[in-house]
């Protein structure tokens, strides 16, 4: 019998097929730091048939919302998200990048109106999915270093 490096979880979310090396950024997006009350398992550089190498993140007792999944798509567009209930895969979702990214990224242009005290969320248009390129809908600037600008 094959031995699993990472054991199954009872309830929670498994994020699989994360590009190798991006697992810690996924944790950052999910806001997982020292403040979590459940177990989080991170597997890095795991052999994968499809990808060569991949990372996996398992978060126990937490089901991810659509908005959180969209956020993951910004740094791990190939990831799949499995919602686990009582050791079974209850839902299988592919992350998918929307055409517009609203309220997830902050504009890198300090003089953009979305960085002023105005009642709007920053909004980006996806110019290209691979490589990922996004442009601010307000100031028209392309956002550099996307992971650093995740809200």
Partner 1 sequence: MSSFRGRDVLSIRDFSRADIDTVLKAARKMVPVALGKKVSRSLEGKILGTLFYEPSTRTRLSFESAVSRLGGRALGFSSAEGTSVQKGETLADTIRMVEAYSDGIVLRHPQEGAARLAAGFSEKPVINAGDGAGQHPTQTLLDLYTIWDEKGTIEGQTVALVGDLKYGRTVHSLTYALAELGANLMFVSPPTLEMPREIIEHVKEKGLTFRLAHRLEEAIRDADVLYVTRIQKERFPDPQEYEKVAGSYRVDADLLRDAKRDLIIMHPLPRVTEISPDVDRTKHALYFKQAFNGVPVRMALLDLILGGGS
51 part of the interface to partner 1, by CB under 8 A: no
Shortest reach from residue 55's CB to partner 1, in Å: 32
Rounded-to-integer distance, Cα 47 and Cα 120, Å = 43
Closer residue to partner 1 in complex, CB, 28/141: 141
Interaxial angle between packed helices 66-75 and 23-30, expressed in degrees from 0 to 180 and rounded to the nearest 10:
150
Residues 6+ apart with CB under 8 A from 47: 53
Q: DSSP character for 28?
A: H
Closer residue to partner 1 in complex, CB, 73/136: 136
Shortest reach from residue 110's CB to partner 1, in Å: 10
Binding to partner 1 in span 87-146, by CB under 8 A: 109, 111-114, 116-120, 136-142
Show the site string, 55-74: x = touches partner 1 by CB under 8 A, - = not: --------------------
| Straight-line distance from the first to the last Cα atom of the chain, in angstroms, rounded to the nearest whole number | 43
Number of chain positions touching partner 1 (CB under 8 A): 17
Residue bearing tokens 């019998």: 1
Contact call for residues 115 and 108 (beta carbons, < 8 A): no
Contacts with partner 1, residue ranges (CB under 8 A): 109, 111-114, 116-120, 136-142
């Amino acid at each position: 019998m094959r031995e699993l490096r990472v054991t199954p979880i009872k309830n929670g979310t498994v994020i699989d097929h994360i590009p190798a090396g991006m697992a810690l950024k996924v944790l950052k997006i999910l806001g997982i730091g020292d403040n979590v009350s459940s177990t989080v398992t991170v597997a890095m550089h795991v052999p994968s048939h499809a990808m060569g190498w991949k990372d996996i993140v398992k978060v126990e007792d937490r089901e991810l919302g659509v908005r959180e999944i969209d956020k993951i798509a910004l740094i791990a567009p190939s990831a799949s998200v499995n919602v686990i209930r009582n050791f079974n895969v209850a839902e299988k979702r592919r992350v998918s990048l929307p055409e517009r990214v609203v309220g997830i990224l902050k504009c890198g242009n300090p003089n953009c109106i979305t960085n002023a005290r105005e009642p709007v969320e920053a909004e980006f248009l996806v110019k290209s999915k691979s490589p990922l390129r996004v442009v601010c809908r307000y100031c028209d600037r392309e956002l550099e270093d996307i992971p650093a600008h995740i809200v």
